Structure formats: C-alpha cells, structure tokens
Chain A
Amino acid sequence: MKYVNYRLKPRLLIVVGISLLVSLLLILLELTPWAEQINLQGYSHGDGEKRDIPSYMRYILPFVKELILIGVPMLLTVSVMKLYGFLKRLIKPKIIKS
C-alpha cells in the first residue's frame, strides 16, 4: 500500500487533527437553542408497534432501504449529467455553424 504509506505520519496527523477539530466544533451544537428545544421535546425512534414480517426480512429490508436511498439519487444525478452533456453537444455544433 505504497500510496497510503507515503509520508503517512504527517498526512495522518493532519487528517486526524482536522477531523477531530471539526468534530469538537460539531459537539458545540448541543449548546444551541435548537438542541435545547429537541432535548425538551424528547425523541424516540423505532419504539412503535412491531410489524408482522418474516424474520429473514429483518436482514434484507435495511439493505433494500439503503439501495433505494443511495441508488435513486445516484441514477437521477447520472441521468441529469448525461442529459446535460447531450444537450451541450446538441447546441454546440449549431452555435459553431451559425
């Protein structure tokens, strides 16, 4: 892994240092009125009634959810980029001709 090991110590120090600094700044969010409001309201997730689904689905459904949440925006973005590229190619020769 020569590309990871190349000047590893200083680079690692910078990456970890910046990440820790940003993380510490993010922790300060808990001092905001926004955090205070949520703490007062309380929050619960997934404590509701248990749905009657086959047990194997418990292992499959989370990954299906991930595939949809990642895959749909990915395909939409790829489609938009391809369409943009296509329109750009379509318009450019016309501009050159005129």
Chain B
Amino acid sequence: MSDWKQNLQKTRYVMDVFFLIGFMIVSAPQATGVPLHEWFSVVLIVPFVIHLLLHWDWAKASFKRLCSKVTMKERFNIVWSYLIYLMMLLVFVSGFLVSEAIFPFLDISLEIQAFWSKLHHDSATFIMPMLGVHLALHWSWMVKFTKRMMTKEKAA
C-alpha cells in the first residue's frame, strides 16, 4: 500500500476511505457529543476539499459532458454529484449557524434560529441516503480497488 501516493486512483481510494470514516464519525453527534461533533466537522472540511481536488478534471469536464451525448447512468451520476455537493454545503452552513461550541469558543455571539436547526437536522439525515446512492454509482470501482489494495497488502 506504500505506493498509493504515486497513483491517482489509489490516492482517491485512500483519501475517500478517510473521508467516509470521518463523515460517519461526524454524523453521530449522539455518540461523540456536540462539541466534538462541531470540531470534527471543521476537520472534515479538509478531506472534503481533497475529494474535490482529486476529482478536479472530472468536475471540470462534467458540465460539458452533461450537455453532450452520454449514457443515462453518467448523466445521473453528474447531476447527483452536483446535488450531493450542494447538500454537503448546506449541512456545513446550517451546522455552523447552529453552532453551540465553536462560536462561543471564538467569543462570537450567534442567535440560533429554529429554521437552521431544522434544516441542519433534515439535511444531515437526508445526505446519508444520498451518499448511499453516490457510493452505489461507483460500486464497481470500489470493489475493484478494494480487491487491488487488499492483494497488494497481502503480497507486501
């Protein structure tokens, strides 16, 4: 597994695994407690940005591809990726606007609105099935690379 940094697909795989694990930890505030949930969310921005950077070429070409003749699956994948990106931003934004730990720590007073509380709860719940579909659309890639990484690890 030591050469994963030299291969784009393997880098994507490793970073996506970190992102998924981080996402799952952040999405369980009942287990971690709200302060840790908020600070972990700030940390999660890093793998989120890395995920976007590692799919830079895809993202750049995606709009053109959407307007050209592509398969139904590809078209759905592009639209779904845009939607999940928007939903992720909504979860982050609404989360910061209902912050109970970060803003008080930074000495910033913020009046929490019921609207943002509801939106944060609903969008954070809704992003999970969206993520499920997003993962399913890359299922064959995930299976292929899990096998490849496991074989390499055993061989090493």
CB-defined contacts of A93 to chain B, threshold 8 Å: none
A74 with B121: CB separation less than 8 A? no
Given A11-B53, A15-B49, A16-B49, A30 and B28 touching (CB < 8 A)?
Answer: no
Number of A residues, CB within 8 Å of B: 44
A23 with B92: CB separation less than 8 A? yes
Restricting to A45-79, which residues have a CB under 8 Å from any CB of B? 45-46, 58-63, 66, 69-78
CB-defined contacts of A29 to chain B, threshold 8 Å: 115, 119
Q: How many A-B residue pairs have CB under 8 A?
A: 111
A2–B118 alpha-carbon span in the complex (Å): 40
Of B28, B135, B137, which is within 8 A of A70 by CB? B135
Asked whether any CB of chain B lies closer than 8 Å to the CB of A35, the reply is yes
Asked whether any CB of chain B lies closer than 8 Å to the CB of A86, the reply is no
CB-defined contacts of B92 to chain A, threshold 8 Å: 23
A73–B127 alpha-carbon span in the complex (Å): 11
CB-defined contacts of A58 to chain B, threshold 8 Å: 30-31
Given A23-B93, A38-B114, A3 and B133 touching (CB < 8 A)?
Answer: no
Asked whether any CB of chain A lies closer than 8 Å to the CB of B90, the reply is yes
Of B89, B94, B132, which is within 8 A of A74 by CB? B132
A18–B73 alpha-carbon span in the complex (Å): 26
Asked whether any CB of chain A lies closer than 8 Å to the CB of B50, the reply is yes
